[in-house]
Amino acid sequence: MRLDKFLQVSRLIKRRTLAKRACTQGRVRLNGRVAKAGAEVNIGARLEVDFGRRCLEVEVLAVPERAGVRDASSLYRILADGPREEAGG
């Protein structure tokens, strides 16, 4: 599944257009590398999403074509969620 689609289906980002924009701006990392919106997401992948002041790191547990609101949180496991680490000082 495409990265932007996974971010939207998992409800990590509300809309696919916002997910695509976050990828374009380099705020999403897939397995430690800045990822494009079309990058393939597989089970076991690690995602880091920079929301500005907050950074979220998750591990992908499932990659369905569709998921309901109740199922969204079962698609990933949160590894880290906290304030963004500032570079330099």
Q: Which domains does the chain have, with CATH numbers?
A: 3-83 (3.10.290.10)
- pLDDT of residue 60 exceeding 70, the answer is yes
Read off the pTM: 0.87
Question: Per residue in 18-37, pLDDT tens?
Answer: 999 999 999 999 999 999 99
Backbone φ and ψ for 33, nearest 5 degrees, come out as -120, 145
Helices (runs of H) and strands (runs of E) counted in the chain: 2, 5
Token pair in block for residue 87: 């570079």
Query: What is the predicted pLDDT for the residue at 67?
Result: 76
